[in-house]
Amino acid sequence: MPPFLRSELPDLAAFSIVVRRRSFKAAAIELGITTSALSHAIRRLEERLGAKLLNRTSRSVAPTPAGLRFAERLEAGFDEIGSALSEIDEVRAGAFGELRLNIPADASRLVVSPVLATFRTRFPDIRLTVVVENRPIDMVAEGFDAGIRYGDTVPEDMIAVALTEPLDWVVVGAPEYLKAHGRPREPADLARHSCLRLLLGDNSPFRWELGNGDAMVRVDVPGNCTISDTQTTIDAAVDGLGLAYVLRRRAEAEIRAGRLDVVMPEWSSMGAGFHMYYPSRRQNHPALRQMIELIRASEGLPPLVR
């Protein structure tokens, strides 16, 4: 089969819209042509390919198996074309437009806040919105370009780019608390302690994950204090309210200052690092790429392959 010509792109676009709309009438309205002209374009494409792409009845239209596979490939191609055109428009305008991010509090503190000043200095024309919250969301439905999550929680239909190396989770306690209640040596000892329970964004309690690989155990720790915010948890631990399970990087200042001690260090756990995630159509968003590159550089990770 000879290669497709640029002049044949309208027929490919017409077919893609018919599959998306599942209606010749609706697709014709979107394209601004008559249904007969649209029908002729589809027939011309089927003859060109030598394959039936659509099953048509008086009431409905649906792609054949071959047509569906073809439409999926076309959709990806048109997404790439759209992204390229958007990027050119943004560069021509001298600005990268708008970037809306949804991120959890820990990611805000550890990876976004440290690069915000640099980002704003380098790209002052970008309209940046950063919403910090821990609840799980439908990022696309709520109008965000991208979000940050731990790598093992990114939805499968999203592109994910690592922003950090794996992250170290530790159990910590104030020296005064440990002096009064003793130091736990293994996970079973936690049953005799007051623990600051962690509340997830969906309001479910989080079981502490201790150890790694085959040695990992998940513990539903006891405790009468449940907190959803890391900084509040760290403050409570410093005040001697109980043991806390936190990212080591979030509590590093308190650990170095001696306000918190790491207990059961051999049971510390390496968890997935932070990842920026986004739908495929945002893959070439220039402002998003710049934010990712800044964060990766600040974390000592190599630039993305272009």
Bigger pLDDT: 29 vs 65: 65
pLDDT of res. 89:
57
- Angle between helices 35-49 and 9-21 in degrees, nearest 10: 110
Class of domain 167-271: alpha beta
pLDDT of res. 160:
92
pLDDT of res. 219:
94
**What's the whole-number average pLDDT of the chain?**
88
Please compute, for residue 73, the number of CA atoms within 13 A of its CA located in the half-sphere on the CB side.
7
Q: Say how far apart CA 172 and CA 261 lie, in whole Å.
A: 5
pLDDT of res. 93:
47
Here the tokens at position 156 are 């499968």
In terms of average pLDDT, the best of 23-37, 51-65, 82-96, 227-241 is 227-241
Which residue's entry shows tokens 């596979």?
69
Q: How confident is the model at residue 232 (pLDDT cuts 50, 70, 90)?
A: very high
Q: How confident is the model at residue 94 (pLDDT cuts 50, 70, 90)?
A: very low
Domain 98-165+273-298: give its CATH superfamily: Periplasmic binding protein-like II (3.40.190.10)
Q: Say how far apart CA 133 and CA 147 lie, in whole Å.
A: 11
The CATH label, of 3.30.450.20, 3.20.20.100, 1.10.10.10, 1.10.3720.10, for the domain at 6-92 is 1.10.10.10
pTM for the whole thing?
Answer: 0.68
Residues of the chain with CATH 3.40.190.10: 98-165+273-298, 167-271
Provide the edge-to-edge strand list for the sheet that holds 196-199: 205-206, 196-199, 225-227
Return the H-helix or E-strand segment holding 287: helix 286-298
In the chain, % of residues over pLDDT 70: 92
